[in-house]
A = this chain, B = another copy of it.
């Protein structure tokens, strides 16, 4: 069979990393490679009630086709709860429901990027977004970060000189993979640059409310005056990811195009997932649930960073996330985290090698650690094992 794929599909290869990560799923391995929320916090008992209620109240609505834009009560709840918490004041009409924020990510490249156009992102950035973007055959410009996120002066330099930049993709809060958070004044500045250079910003914010110290940062969207910022939200990390509920908040002109794209892509997100999520939010206090999550993740984060300081060679650098799911480790130049992973697996511990988070390649001397989905005991034991491996290189 010599089947002829489109150029965009030819370019999509099964990820090498993904194959490697399959090994990490063996039960004896302590894996920091995942990005899963802690399942013991899922409100399973509450969902049993929720399901009965939605099927009793409108069983037919729960099983029938619905609008592409999404279930109106859920859109209102998102506007009034999650968007307000991000400092954005809109109504349900300014929101459409997507199947996770991943869908909003993919739609954005489809909407803004012709072949050969440039997408600007943080260096490094979320691998799943980069892979989704690649189908539209863009170029990537990576903008360096410091401890306050994307360095805005470097972004402006790029916007000045490169007229093919069609989209800026950023994860301002507890970024995947680094855990770094953009400062509030950079957020404001970024919104201004978007408007000045007429380039849309895709603000991907899955982790913003999982802040361990202080209160949620205002979103970039909250500084947006004329519609250049598109906000992607999701319940995957604050409620559960198995119900595929994310959303897009954007100006009416842009939102209308997203609706047409969604209609072609899958008609609508699950009526069941949408109603179950809405009913949960109406019946229970998600804020309290998020507080519970933050307590658990915050403790795990502290323990992981403390263990790194104790068991890793002193020269190794790491970020200090104060929210979210991930920490980022930098080894000395020349070391390959991909090669070291093979040794780590022998010691029954795993992480995600950093190379794939850099869209233009290189920089393999980093790796990502997840702390949300692991008992405290295993965090200490896993970091200890990893330290043992790393000492061979220092």
Number of interface residues of A (CB under 8 A): 83
Beta-carbon nearest neighbor of A198 in chain B: B2
Q: Say whether A55 contacts B51, CB under 8 Å.
A: yes
Beta-carbon nearest neighbor of A274 in chain B: B242
Q: Say whether B64 contacts A241, CB under 8 Å.
A: yes
Known contacts A4-B198, A112-B5, A263-B128; is-contact A271 B242 (Cβ 8 Å): yes
Beta-carbon nearest neighbor of A260 in chain B: B12
B-side contacts of A382, CB under 8 Å: none
Q: Say whether B3 contacts A198, CB under 8 Å.
A: yes
Q: Say whether A253 contacts B3, CB under 8 Å.
A: yes
Give the docked Cα–Cα distance between A114 and B5 (Å).
9
Tell whether A103 is near chain B: CB-to-CB under 8 Å. yes
Give the docked Cα–Cα distance between A47 and B241 (Å).
21
Among the stretches A36-44, A81-89, A333-341, the one at the interface with B is A36-44
Known contacts A51-B51, A242-B271, A270-B273; is-contact A264 B64 (Cβ 8 Å): no
Give the docked Cα–Cα distance between A338 and B172 (Å).
49
Q: Say whether B261 contacts A12, CB under 8 Å.
A: yes
Additional pairs, 15, CB under 8 Å, beyond known A2-B198, A6-B166, A9-B112: A3-B198, A5-B112, A6-B114, A6-B117, A8-B114, A51-B51, A52-B52, A63-B241, A64-B242, A65-B242, A102-B264, A106-B266, A244-B267, A244-B268, A272-B272
Can you list 11 A-B pairs, Cβ within 8 angstroms, ordered by A? A1-B227, A3-B198, A4-B198, A9-B257, A37-B64, A47-B63, A65-B241, A99-B270, A102-B266, A132-B265, A242-B272
